[in-house]
Amino acid sequence: MAAEKKASKMTVQQLKTPKGTRDWVGADMLLRDHIFNSILDVFKRHGGVSLDTPVFELKDVLSGKYGEDSKLIYDLADQGGELCALRYDLTVPFARWLGMSNTQSIKRYQIAKVYRRDQPAVTRGRMREFYQCDFDIAGVYDSMIPDAEILRITSEIFDVLKMDISIAINHRQILDGMFAVAGVPPEKVRTISSAVDKLDKAPWAEVKKEMVEGKGLSEEVADRIGEYVKHNGDLPTIIKFLKEDQALMANSDIKAGVEDMELLSSYLNAFRVGTKVVFDLALARGLDYYTGIIYEVKTNLAPEVDKKKTKGNDELSQVGSIAAGGRYDNLVGMYGKRQIPCVGISFGVDRIYTIMKARQETEGKARVREVDVYVMAFGGSGFTGLLLERMQIVSKLWEAGIRAEFQAKVKPKLPQQFKAAEDVPLGVILGEDELKNGEVRLKALNTGAAEEEKDRGQLVKLDDLVAEIKKLL
Amino acid sequence: MAAEKKASKMTVQQLKTPKGTRDWVGADMLLRDHIFNSILDVFKRHGGVSLDTPVFELKDVLSGKYGEDSKLIYDLADQGGELCALRYDLTVPFARWLGMSNTQSIKRYQIAKVYRRDQPAVTRGRMREFYQCDFDIAGVYDSMIPDAEILRITSEIFDVLKMDISIAINHRQILDGMFAVAGVPPEKVRTISSAVDKLDKAPWAEVKKEMVEGKGLSEEVADRIGEYVKHNGDLPTIIKFLKEDQALMANSDIKAGVEDMELLSSYLNAFRVGTKVVFDLALARGLDYYTGIIYEVKTNLAPEVDKKKTKGNDELSQVGSIAAGGRYDNLVGMYGKRQIPCVGISFGVDRIYTIMKARQETEGKARVREVDVYVMAFGGSGFTGLLLERMQIVSKLWEAGIRAEFQAKVKPKLPQQFKAAEDVPLGVILGEDELKNGEVRLKALNTGAAEEEKDRGQLVKLDDLVAEIKKLL
């Protein structure tokens, strides 16, 4: 509230949000908040600690962390003083914070906006300002226990959101060992790993072509990789497959990875999430810094969303992975003297939002606010409007924690009051005669306009009103 | 999660947040969230609609809105494309949004960070990145009804936060009329109003000196102002005082303002907040754009905070106004074709935080996370650690929505488990003998270390565990 009367008047055509950003309001915000609150609930259930960092960091903190993508960082103007830039993700601020603090171990979560000067694709939900939602467990623990808890948290969150998911999982040491055994030269491991990462969207023939023609791998080596990466299934099955292959098990990375996966398998069963997890030898994940297990969550769109909403809407059917992460034991060491092992996951809340919004649209009109009761008045000739009485009664409801509104008019018309109460489930209706007896009428709203006029609801004593409303809500 | 292995290693001394910003974590975040959630609850209770705007706006949207303070705006660097700047408050983005939308009326709220390149005073809670928390009612309604609801909302919020407050209130038309009747030349009204605004912190003699010597007002006119502005009291008393002064009532602005205040008085009584409101003829508020009532909320620090925490801590006793606002009917018109009258309030959440933090510190140690149950194991020689059993039981608790943790070790030591459960109220203790009978021990924690070792809690059947825990929480 600090603008001035003499301020320059803007023309309407200039009124927009910056490219790649948007306002959120009403029903959209309620849905987004519902998603955030569901996720936060689960984070807290697991002892998560909330971290909030500034929206901008010293430029030096971000420099050299994102490789080529650094060009997408938003810089602040040099107005004297420190050089700063908007945060690009939540992981670097978390690592910076860990580097500054004395914390040895933490389960930290953060839901916040991040910024990338990318080409926006608004309909597909790719924006320049968007939310990330991260949960990470940092600290030295016994092997695979925090890893299993991250997957348990993931499973709980999608249960709460009523989304059917599966979690693909792999292990960096198994993947790298497999490349070594297949005969990939060490300097080509990362680039071949990136090629395998595309198996998600491209057929094997295409990926093989990239390996052989694009990256100079021999056809024989590529075929050996092809044999391995086609295997996926539940953890015991793939673990068995790996253990029976003596060539693979002779590799120390693979041996260590398989031991991890055996432990993980028993922990996931104890946590009752084993059935949702698929061990997929083709899962590679792009980022370099993973050192242990990696995972990606996928959803099958609910049939009603699929049928009704995706015709002509390619974006929805391309939603792809809705959460992903892994173990990264060496990142924090870049920010200080200490190395702190971490495992974490990032939820793609924009993608989750897109799916849930489509589901909501198949279920009818969404509310823009969550009011439960509308207090209204009516009367014949000589109607005073009963404003003070409406104010007194609505105050009582507020004091009882009930969400309630009334029309801010001295003499409101009944149809206007019904219209304002369009998305409100209950009406309290004041009439002068009823009030003389210490009574009002309580009625369910939105039963149809004709019905509305006829049925004036049940008579309720003022003293019982709060209790009666709470019974109905 | 997008940093790279090869990233440059930073030296420890560079590890800081930018000037005037800070990280929030653990107990501080829980307290801040408690404040935000209390406020949001009340906003929603009144049918508030949530609005979220981008953290940066087009530079043109902010230009010319903040007068001299424009130099405090953070600009984004010109990296090609639109010129943008970080938002300076939440009112201009709200007015920009109203200008873009077709909304005729809305109760909108927004809690979000704003940015000012001011000289930070960290101990006093003045930061470059800080939260604002605004509720505004926009739209054409009958006179003073939304104004009264804003004050009712304010009162409810501080009730929920258990803070004792009073609301000083005045009316711009009465203030301006009073200056006219006293003989202030029209061109000096705003500057004299600014002088009166200082009566809060400075004695009358000093303010008079500023008016006469600094601003060239005649001593006679200044004295007449001095006579008026010393009046304050409950609404009926001050209304009566004004109505009895025929010179004042002959001024049309004052007459209109007094009519507003009479309506407001009856509405505040119906809303049961009349007793918290003080009509203060000396209240001026700095900003130019107010057109009707203006108000400021003050708190008396609770005695325990005052005594224990303010010695040597001037900042706390200077906390001053913790919420303020008023009616501004002409601001939205600057952003489009439509004029939409508005009335609103902004809560100083940082100041509220400072007060509640001091109060919390007098009440003992704050929790950093809200875990309710710690699942632990103990045993004699040959102790296996019961890890899978702990995992199964903690999963059951999570499924029941209970906040629970366990130690991520295969064979945890009992003292370490008790230490990790330091701020957790309940412990579930697994022993091999008890488990054979389908039982565990449930005990209240933090009863003292010696006690902890002796009392191993009550035996509970596994099937009854969730119910027993819910009973105790």
Using CA of residue B357, residue B358, residue B363, residue B365, what is the dihedral sign?
positive
Which two structure tokens, joined as six digits, stand for A272?
Answer: 């009752």
* Of the residues B313, B333, B362, the one at which a domain ends: B362
Q: Which residue of A has its CA nearest to B368?
A: A49
Q: Is A1 contained in some domain? A: no
CB contact under 8 A, A1 and B146: no
Do residue B193 and residue B253 come from a single domain?
yes
User: How far is Cα A322 from Cα A303, in angstroms, rounded to an integer?
Assistant: 18
Find chain B residues with C-beta within 8 A of A410's C-beta.
142, 145
- For chain A, say whether B405 makes contact (Cβ under 8 Å): yes
pLDDT at position B333: 83
Count Cα atoms within 13 angstroms, Cβ side, for B295. 29
Q: Which residue of A has its CA nearest to B159?
A: A399
Find chain A residues with C-beta within 8 A of B377's C-beta.
none
Distances (CA, A) of B50 to A65, A424, A470, B112, B344: 35, 17, 25, 11, 14
Strand-by-strand arrangement of the B373-377 sheet: B404-406, B373-377, B426-430, B439-444, B458-461
Ligand-binding site membership of B136 (annotated): yes
CB contact under 8 A, B145 and A4: no
Contacts with A, B 168-197, CB within 8 Å: none
CB contact under 8 A, A10 and B89: no
Contacts with A, B 233-252, CB within 8 Å: none
Using CA of residue B81, residue A17, residue A14, residue B118, what is the dihedral sign?
negative
CB contact under 8 A, A2 and B287: yes
Q: Give residue B327's Cα distance to chain centre.
A: 20
pLDDT at position A335: 76
Q: Is A283 contained in some domain? A: yes
What backbone torsions phi and psi does residue B143 show, to the nearest 5 degrees?
A: -50, 135
- For chain B, say whether A70 makes contact (Cβ under 8 Å): no
Range of the domain at A454: 373-472
User: How far is Cα B342 from Cα B325, in angstroms, rounded to an integer?
Assistant: 11
Q: Which residue of A has its CA nearest to B273?
A: A395
Mention every residue, 6+ apart, whose C-beta is less than 8 A from residue A409.
A385, A387, A416, B141, B142, B145
A445: left (phi over 0), alpha (psi -120 to 50) or beta: beta
> ipTM score of the complex?
0.85
Helix residue spans in A199-348 (DSSP H): 204-209, 219-229, 235-244, 246-249, 252-270, 303-309, 314-317
Q: Which residue has the tokens 């920010």?
A: A335
- CA nearest B91: which of A317, A299, A52, A1? A1
> With contact defined as beta carbons under 8 Å apart, do A133 and A347 qualify?
yes
Mention every residue, 6+ apart, whose C-beta is less than 8 A from residue B397.
B373, B375, B404, B428, B465, B466, B469
Q: Is B165 contained in some domain? A: yes
The pLDDT tens digits of the residues spanning A349-401 come to 988 998 899 888 887 767 778 899 999 998 888 889 999 999 999 999 999 99
Q: What is the CATH number of the domain that holds B442?
A: 3.40.50.800
Do residue A436 and residue A356 come from a single domain?
no
User: How far is Cα A7 from Cα A405, in angstroms, rounded to an integer?
Assistant: 35
- For chain A, say whether B276 makes contact (Cβ under 8 Å): no
- CA nearest A300: which of A268, A322, A281, A328? A322
3-state secondary structure of B16: coil
CB contact under 8 A, B409 and A142: yes
Using CA of residue A38, residue A41, residue A47, residue A49, what is the dihedral sign?
positive
Q: Which residue has the tokens 């908007």?
A: A86
Mention every residue, 6+ apart, whose C-beta is less than 8 A from residue A361.
A308, A309
Q: Which residue of A has its CA nearest to B367?
A: A49
Adjacent-strand bridge partners of B49 = B108
Q: Which residue of B has its CA nearest to A265?
A: B388
CB contact under 8 A, A1 and B405: no
Do residue B214 and residue B259 come from a single domain?
yes
Q: Is A2 contained in some domain? A: no
CB contact under 8 A, A337 and B91: no
Q: Give residue B416's Cα distance to chain centre.
A: 39
CB contact under 8 A, A156 and B398: yes
Q: What is the CATH number of the domain that holds A56?
A: 3.30.930.10
pLDDT at position A314: 46
- CA nearest B17: which of A426, A188, A55, A469? A55
> With contact defined as beta carbons under 8 Å apart, do A132 and A94 qualify?
no
- Give the DSSP letter of residue B336: S
Find chain A residues with C-beta within 8 A of B395's C-beta.
152, 270-272
3-state secondary structure of B5: coil
Find chain B residues with C-beta within 8 A of A392's C-beta.
270-272
Helix (H) or strand (E) holding B305: helix B303-309
Find chain A residues with C-beta within 8 A of B141's C-beta.
408-409
Q: Is A7 contained in some domain? A: no
Shortest distance between the Cα of A440 and any Cα of chain B, in A, equals: 17
Q: What angle do CA A10, B346, B362 make, to 5 degrees?
A: 150
CB contact under 8 A, A148 and B17: no
Contacts with B, A 95-124, CB within 8 Å: 95-97, 99-100, 107-108, 113, 115, 117
3-state secondary structure of A343: strand
User: How far is Cα A152 from Cα B446, in angstroms, rounded to an integer?
Assistant: 29
Helix (H) or strand (E) holding B440: strand B439-444
Do residue A416 and residue A276 come from a single domain?
no
Do residue B22 and residue B151 come from a single domain?
yes
Contacts with B, A 358-397, CB within 8 Å: 368-371, 387-389, 391-392, 395
Q: Which residue has the tokens 């390149």?
A: B117
CB contact under 8 A, A23 and B51: yes
Distances (CA, A) of B292 to B67, B106, B144, B264, B284: 22, 19, 9, 12, 11
Q: Largest Cα–Cα distance in chain A?
A: 95
Do residue A356 and residue A437 come from a single domain?
no
Do residue A400 and residue A304 come from a single domain?
no
pLDDT at position B361: 84
Beta carbon pairs, A and B, within 8 Å = 349
Q: Largest Cα–Cα distance in chain B?
A: 95
Count of Cβ atoms closer than 10 Å to residue A5 Cβ: 14
* Tens of pLDDT, residue by residue, chain A (473 residues): 444 444 445 444 468 999 999 999 988 999 999 999 999 999 999 999 999 999 999 999 888 777 778 889 999 999 999 999 999 999 999 989 998 888 889 999 999 999 999 888 766 667 899 999 999 999 999 999 999 999 999 999 999 999 999 999 999 999 999 999 999 999 999 889 989 988 888 899 999 999 999 999 999 999 999 999 999 999 999 999 999 999 999 999 999 999 999 999 999 999 999 889 999 999 998 777 889 999 999 987 654 454 444 444 444 444 578 999 999 998 888 777 788 999 999 999 988 998 899 888 887 767 778 899 999 998 888 889 999 999 999 999 999 999 999 999 999 998 999 999 988 999 999 999 999 999 999 999 876 655 556 677 899 999 999 999 999 98
> With contact defined as beta carbons under 8 Å apart, do B87 and B114 qualify?
yes
Write the residue in A21, A51, A404 that is nearest to B23 by C-beta. Answer: A51
The amino acid that residue B148 corresponds to is A
3-state secondary structure of A138: strand
Known binding-site residues of A for L-histidine equal: 89-91, 116, 132, 136, 285, 289-290
Q: A145-160 and B387-399 helices cross at what angle (nearest 10)?
A: 20
- CA nearest A456: which of A420, A413, A418, A422? A418
Q: Which residue of B has its CA nearest to A394?
A: B271
On average, the pLDDT of chain B sits at 88
Do residue B401 and residue B332 come from a single domain?
no
> With contact defined as beta carbons under 8 Å apart, do B1 and A88 qualify?
no
- Give the DSSP letter of residue A382: T
pLDDT at position B6: 42
User: How far is Cα A397 from Cα A427, in angstroms, rounded to an integer?
Assistant: 12
Distances (CA, A) of B330 to A84, A160, A247, B356: 36, 46, 79, 36
Q: Is B101 contained in some domain? A: yes
User: How far is Cα B271 from Cα B257, in angstroms, rounded to an integer?
Assistant: 21
User: How far is Cα B237 from Cα B239, in angstroms, rounded to an integer?
Assistant: 6
Which two structure tokens, joined as six digits, stand for B139?
Answer: 């739209």
CB contact under 8 A, B76 and A78: no
Do residue B77 and residue B210 come from a single domain?
yes
CB contact under 8 A, B69 and A2: yes
> With contact defined as beta carbons under 8 Å apart, do B236 and B258 qualify?
no
Q: What angle do CA B434, B437, B443 make, to 5 degrees?
A: 40
Q: Is A368 contained in some domain? A: no
The pLDDT tens digits of the residues spanning A341-358 come to 999 999 999 889 988 998
The amino acid that residue A52 corresponds to is D
Which two structure tokens, joined as six digits, stand for B77?
Answer: 């660097």
pLDDT at position B450: 58
- What length does chain B have? 473
CB contact under 8 A, B289 and A346: no
Q: How many domains does chain B have?
A: 2
Q: Is B4 contained in some domain? A: no
Shortest distance between the Cα of A272 and any Cα of chain B, in A, equals: 8
Find chain B residues with C-beta within 8 A of A54's C-beta.
17-18, 21-23, 129
Low-confidence stretches of chain B (pLDDT beneath 70): 1-14, 122-125, 301-319, 365, 447-454
Find chain A residues with C-beta within 8 A of B58's C-beta.
14, 16-18
Do residue A356 and residue A380 come from a single domain?
no
Do residue B335 and residue B468 come from a single domain?
no
Write the residue in A65, A337, A371 that is nearest to B3 by C-beta. Answer: A65
**Residue from A1, A34, A149, A271 whose CB has the most chain B CBs within 10 Å, to mutate:** A1
* Of the residues A332, A361, A390, the one at which a domain ends: A361
Do residue B342 and residue B386 come from a single domain?
no
* Of the residues A306, A329, A361, the one at which a domain ends: A361
Shortest distance between the Cα of B17 and any Cα of chain A, in A, equals: 6
